[in-house]
Amino acid sequence: MEYVTAVLLPQALHGLFFGAALALLALGLTVIFGLLGVMNFAHGELFMLGAYAGIVVIGLTESFWVALVLAPLAVGALGALTEVLTLRPLYRREPLYGLILTFGLSLGLREVVREVWGGDMRRIFEPITGSVPLLGMIYPKYRLFLLGFSLLLLLILWLFFTRTRAGIIVRAAVQDAEMLDGLGVDVPRVFTLTFAGSSALAALAGLLLAPVITVYPTMGVEWILLAFIVVILGGMGSMGGSVLAALVIGEAQSLFSLWMNPQRVAIAIFAIMIFVLIVRPRGFFGREGVLE
């Protein structure tokens, strides 16, 4: 019992907030993938930019909460600009070009950040300090906030995609952009706004996690791999699948690290993915024929 409350439960909660943050990251990736057919290799850099934009805003205003609003907006604007300038001319070409383009963008963004802020590890201080007793254990308040806020965001996104007209248009565009175009919807604008939204979401995840992890220019490289695994595991283009897969990976990562060293944890995660792909080649909720 001691073991459950002192070790297992905190680690499980840890996995839950980790998974929820990962879901925010993976959702943008899967929507962009479904919409544009582009596996966005720069997504990890947008996540990283969120943390750095947060550092700038916190430096100016000394408020984490202002940064939580402004940083995603700034990165979202950058995303919109990137989409219009670089991805839009590629829509008529095969997805390979988008993949390679975003790989180039990720290289560039990473180095811009390294040039401007240097390669050192940075930290953002937790805006909420202290711990609270919870279910017989002591849990840091900020992590609790992180968990609640991420889950709330996921709920809002779910409502957006199921209840609002804009969300339904995005989902329709994922299904069949041509048909949507025929119905008179300005599809390029949908693409741009969705890309901006996905960028802002990645940035938000980056800033939210920044106080818990360290911030450095190549942090995106590690995170995007996990996000890729989540997207494959959940089924390409399936938003619900992504969220479920993110929670599975978050919990697996967190619980496995109780019993294994980091190397074994990483390999176990890869093994899960390979196993799922053999048993269920399309992931949890992958649709038939999506990019096969």
Partner 1 sequence: MIGRFGWRMWLAFAILAALPALPFMTGYRLNLAFDALLFGIVAMSLDLLMGYTGMISFGHAAFLGLRAYSTAILLERGVRSLWLCLGAAVVVVGVYALVVAYFATTRRGIYFALLTLIFAEVVYTFFRYTQTFGGSDGIQGLEAPHLIPGVPASTLGSPLENYYLVLILLLLTYVLCRTLVESHFGRVLIAIRENEDRARFLGYHVRGYKMAVCLISALLAGVAGAVYPVRLANATPDLLLWTISGEAIVMVMIGGIGTLVGPVIGGVFFILLQEEVSTYAPRLYQLLGFSPEKGAGLHFLIIGIILVLIVLFMPKGLVGLFRRRRARRAPSAAVQTVPAGELE
Closest CA to 204 of 248, 245, 246, 152: 152
Distance CA 108, CA 93 (A): 22
Is residue 107 within the footprint of partner 1 (CB under 8 A)?
A: yes
Pick from 10, 15, 34, 37: which binds partner 1 (CB under 8 A)? 37
Is residue 112 within the footprint of partner 1 (CB under 8 A)?
A: yes
Pick from 180, 190, 219, 229: which binds partner 1 (CB under 8 A)? 229
Is residue 179 within the footprint of partner 1 (CB under 8 A)?
A: no
Is residue 41 within the footprint of partner 1 (CB under 8 A)?
A: yes
**How deeply is 221 buried, as exposed, middle or buried, from its count of CB atoms within 10 A (0-12, 13-18, 19+)?**
middle
Per the CB < 8 A criterion, the answer to whether 285 and 234 are in contact is yes
Q: Who's near 241: CB < 8 A, 6+ residues apart?
A: 30, 233, 234, 235, 283, 284, 285, 286
Instruction: Report the residue number, 97 or 149, with the smaller CB distance to partner 1.
Output: 97
Going 59 to 63 to 67 to 68, the CA torsion angle's sign is positive
Instruction: Report the residue number, 126 or 222, with the smaller CB distance to partner 1.
Output: 222
- What string marks each residue from 9 to 28 as x (binds partner 1 by CB under 8 A) or -? --------------------
Is residue 106 within the footprint of partner 1 (CB under 8 A)?
A: yes
**How deeply is 278 buried, as exposed, middle or buried, from its count of CB atoms within 10 A (0-12, 13-18, 19+)?**
exposed
Determine the 3-state secondary structure of 140 from DSSP: strand
Is residue 278 within the footprint of partner 1 (CB under 8 A)?
A: yes
Choose one: 10-18, 65-73, 193-201, 227-235; the region binding partner 1 (CB under 8 A).
Answer: 227-235
Distance CA 233, CA 179 (A): 28
Per the CB < 8 A criterion, the answer to whether 159 and 47 are in contact is no
Pick from 4, 8, 111, 156: which binds partner 1 (CB under 8 A)? 111
CB neighbours of residue 260 within 10 Å? 13
- ∠232-199-50 over CA atoms, to 5°? 110
Choose one: 93-101, 183-191, 203-211, 250-258; the region binding partner 1 (CB under 8 A).
Answer: 93-101
C-alpha pair distances (Å), 211 with each of 43, 124, 140, 190, 205: 20, 5, 12, 33, 11
Is residue 159 within the footprint of partner 1 (CB under 8 A)?
A: no
Is residue 101 within the footprint of partner 1 (CB under 8 A)?
A: yes
Determine the 3-state secondary structure of 282 from DSSP: coil
Instruction: Report the residue number, 206 or 237, with the smaller CB distance to partner 1.
Output: 237
Is residue 255 within the footprint of partner 1 (CB under 8 A)?
A: no
Pick from 2, 62, 94, 288: which binds partner 1 (CB under 8 A)? 94
Site for partner 1 in 43-82 (CB under 8 A): none
Choose one: 36-44, 55-63, 120-128, 185-193; the region binding partner 1 (CB under 8 A).
Answer: 36-44
- What string marks each residue from 257 to 276 as x (binds partner 1 by CB under 8 A) or -? ----xxx--xx--x--xx--
- ∠256-14-133 over CA atoms, to 5°? 130
Residues interacting with partner 1, by CB under 8 A?
33, 37, 39, 41, 86, 89-97, 99-101, 103-112, 114-115, 118-119, 221, 225, 228-229, 232, 236, 261-263, 266-267, 270, 273-274, 277-278, 281, 291-292
